[in-house]
Structure 1
Amino acid sequence: MRRTRMLAAIAAAGAVVAGPAAAAWADTSAQETINRLQQQGYTVNIDRLGTGPMSQCVVTSVRNPQTVTQWLPYVGPTLGHNSGTVLVPVVTSQTISVSLDCSGK
């Protein structure tokens, strides 16, 4: 039972780590795409082609989601009477790259 709870806690924490941003940028503006990624916790690195205003930019790709995790002690209900320290992965940072075409073609 103790092992099952520990694995459940690790799996739940892993689900948070495993969910990179979906490619839902096809029908949204460049700014909306960037905002959505930032709301998901990403630091967005932007590279752009052209000098047009953001309102004229088109997202050409969203790539390289990077998630950095750190193993920290589990804090919560005990996992049993003789439970030792249980470590779970915690997301410490997330970055993603967005390419924009702002050339107005």
Structure 2
Amino acid sequence: MSERKSSMLVPTLAVAGFLAFALTLQAQSGSGGSSRWEYRVLDTRDMIVHPQLTDGQIDAARQVGITAARNIDTEFDRLGAEGWELVSFADRLAVFKRARN
């Protein structure tokens, strides 16, 4: 295994471990009300972030499944407005949760 691949493996396993832990807590808490969560993982390395992106370019990117924003704060604000709460950020992986409807 190359050095780059092995150095990326540790953070990836850490995030996977975090998600497994979070899902275990969810299962243990039962099925009542707001104890049920949904999760979203955003890999910021896969984002297109540039201050001169137009609204049209951002919309076009989103239509093909690419996250695009003028800056990372804008994207995090958008997710917050949708009810997502940032619970972890490590190695450019952001983990959000919100109450399941």
TM-score in terms of structure 2 length? 0.35
Q: Which has the higher contact order (CA 8 A, sep 6+)?
A: 1
- Structure number with the higher strand fraction is 1
- Structure number with the higher helix fraction is 2
Larger radius of gyration: 1
